């Protein structure tokens, strides 16, 4: 009798486990979203860890092994993951591959869509719909969780707007190392002057540096932002020749390491740094 009870329990556990969707995520933002929406019904592997540069990441054999048994693969898309073909191959068509960024509005050549809160809300809807498609019986649960998370994002966006309002309009100018704050600028009313290109490796020539220096002087920009990584020599030259100070590190390419490993912490950190430095 006792043995029978244990067997039943094991069977119940196996069933519950079978119901959990296995998710492989290659974006720190999407990892948070799918954990929020999926709760206990998903088993998520975040292959790109907070604090890691997604422009530089390539999946290892161990990553691909996990992908091969996943139900869903999440990527930022917009050309960020040059290795997406490898994921497709590893999965052999068994998983739903969600190229989330490609379903969002805006220019297709800038991958940094997560600096728009509205885009994170849209991505939440995309993830909710996919989980519901694969587990129709759990649709109500996923919808409720997505709605609760979206409410928190709305409060966050409200906080950003209040904080940005502390800055006079003519001070809302962002000089960053690589071109990653375009979506943020459009959503919250800034202009951006990136020093490098869309990836960290895309480094500027002396002509570009001279242009940036002229812009900073002409517009009276008080600070520039070096983000978490990068070209200290160019930054140093610019600050020396313009008198602008370094406004601190911004999290540009996804969530930072603990304790900045949440969407909310990323925005609060970035926006506080930006507003305090440009005031
Ligand atoms: Zn980037």
- Distance between Cα 266 and ligand 1 center (Å): 14
Q: Measuring CA to CA, which residue among 33, 25, 26 is closest to residue 264?
A: 33
Confidence (pLDDT) at 224? 92
**Would 84 be classed as within a structural domain?**
yes
Length of the chain, please? 279
> Are residue 156 and residue 189 in the same domain, yes or no?
no
> Are residue 178 and residue 139 in the same domain, yes or no?
no
Cα–Cα distance measured from residue 50 to residue 131, given in angstroms and rounded to the nearest whole number: 23
- Distance between Cα 199 and ligand 1 center (Å): 5
- Distance between Cα 133 and ligand 1 center (Å): 31
- Distance between Cα 213 and ligand 1 center (Å): 22
Question: Number of folded domains in the chain?
Answer: 2
**Would 149 be classed as within a structural domain?**
yes
Q: Where are the beta strands (DSSP E) in 26-80?
A: 42-46, 72-75
Band (pLDDT 50/70/90 cuts) for residue 128 is very high
> Are residue 46 and residue 155 in the same domain, yes or no?
yes
- Distance between Cα 127 and ligand 1 center (Å): 22
> Are residue 155 and residue 170 in the same domain, yes or no?
no
Beta-carbon neighbours within 5 Å of ion ligand 1: 180, 253
- Distance between Cα 19 and ligand 1 center (Å): 36
**Would 4 be classed as within a structural domain?**
no
Q: Which domain holds residue 198?
A: 166-278
Confidence (pLDDT) at 205? 83
Q: Are 50 and 28 in contact (CB under 8 A)?
A: yes
- Distance between Cα 54 and ligand 1 center (Å): 7
- Which residue intervals of 69-138 are DSSP H helices? 84-91, 117-134
End-of-domain residue from the set 113, 133, 160: 160
> Are residue 88 and residue 173 in the same domain, yes or no?
no
> Are residue 124 and residue 182 in the same domain, yes or no?
no
Cα–Cα distance measured from residue 256 to residue 269, given in angstroms and rounded to the nearest whole number: 10
Cα–Cα distance measured from residue 79 to residue 199, given in angstroms and rounded to the nearest whole number: 11
> Are residue 194 and residue 239 in the same domain, yes or no?
yes
**Would 3 be classed as within a structural domain?**
no
Instruction: Please give the mean pLDDT across all residues of the chain.
Output: 91
End-of-domain residue from the set 160, 187, 219: 160
pLDDT digits (tens, 9 = 90+) for 197-209: 777 667 788 888 8
Confidence (pLDDT) at 233? 80
**Would 1 be classed as within a structural domain?**
no
- Which residue intervals of 165-247 are DSSP H helices? 182-188, 206-219, 232-242
Band (pLDDT 50/70/90 cuts) for residue 3 is low
Judged against a pLDDT cut of 80, whether residue 26 lies above it is answered with: yes
End-of-domain residue from the set 93, 125, 160: 160
Q: Measuring CA to CA, which residue among 41, 236, 238 is closest to residue 146?
A: 41
> pTM for the full model?
0.90
Residue 262 token pair: 């949440």
**Would 11 be classed as within a structural domain?**
no
CATH of the domain at 257: 3.40.50.1980
> Are residue 262 and residue 149 in the same domain, yes or no?
no
Residue with tokens 């048994």: 69
- Distance between Cα 198 and ligand 1 center (Å): 6
> Are residue 146 and residue 240 in the same domain, yes or no?
no
In three-state secondary structure terms, 224 is: strand
Confidence (pLDDT) at 235? 83
Judged against a pLDDT cut of 90, whether residue 174 lies above it is answered with: yes
The whole-number average pLDDT for the span 219-232 is 78
> Are residue 79 and residue 172 in the same domain, yes or no?
no
Cα–Cα distance measured from residue 142 to residue 149, given in angstroms and rounded to the nearest whole number: 11
**Would 73 be classed as within a structural domain?**
yes
The whole-number average pLDDT for the span 113-125 is 98
- Distance between Cα 147 and ligand 1 center (Å): 29
Band (pLDDT 50/70/90 cuts) for residue 17 is very low
- Distance between Cα 29 and ligand 1 center (Å): 13
**Would 94 be classed as within a structural domain?**
yes
> Are residue 139 and residue 37 in the same domain, yes or no?
yes
Listed in sequence order, the residues at least 6 apart from 249 whose beta carbon sits closer than 8 Å to its beta carbon are 225, 226, 227, 228, 273
> Are residue 155 and residue 172 in the same domain, yes or no?
no
- Cα three-residue angle 40-44-46, rounded to 5 degrees: 145
Residue 131 CA: distances (Å) to CA of 63, 96, 146, 147: 22, 10, 11, 14
């Amino acid at each position: 009798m006792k043995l029978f009870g244990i067997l039943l329990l094991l069977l119940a556990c196996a069933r519950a486990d079978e119901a959990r969707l296995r998710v492989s995520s290659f974006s720190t933002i999407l990892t948070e979203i799918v954990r929020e929406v999926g709760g206990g019904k998903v088993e998520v592997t975040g292959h790109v860890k907070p604090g890691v540069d997604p422009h530089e990441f390539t999946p290892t054999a161990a990553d691909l092994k996990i992908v091969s048994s996943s139900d869903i693969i999440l990527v930022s898309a917009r050309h960020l993951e040059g290795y997406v073909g490898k994921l497709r191959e590893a999965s052999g068509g068994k998983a739903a591959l969600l190229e989330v960024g490609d379903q969002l509005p805006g220019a297709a050549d800038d991958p940094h869509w997560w600096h728009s809160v509205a885009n994170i809300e849209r991505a939440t809807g995309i993830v909710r719909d996919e989980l519901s498609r694969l587990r129709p019986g759990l649709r109500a649960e996923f919808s409720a969780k997505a709605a609760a998370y979206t409410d928190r994002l709305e409060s966050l966006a409200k906080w950003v707007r209040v904080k940005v309002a502390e800055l006079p309009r003519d001070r809302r100018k962002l000089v960053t190392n690589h071109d990653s704050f375009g979506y943020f600028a459009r959503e919250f009313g800034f202009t951006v002057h990136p020093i490098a290109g869309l990836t960290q490796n895309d480094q500027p020539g002396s002509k570009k540096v001279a242009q940036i220096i002229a812009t900073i002087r002409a517009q009276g920009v008080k600070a520039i932002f070096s983000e978490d990584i990068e070209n200290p020599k160019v930054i140093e030259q610019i600050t020396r020749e313009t008198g602008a100070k370094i406004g601190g590190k911004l999290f540009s390419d996804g969530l930072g390491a603990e304790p900045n490993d949440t969407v909310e912490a990323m925005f609060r950190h970035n926006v506080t740094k930006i507003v305090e430095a440009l005031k």
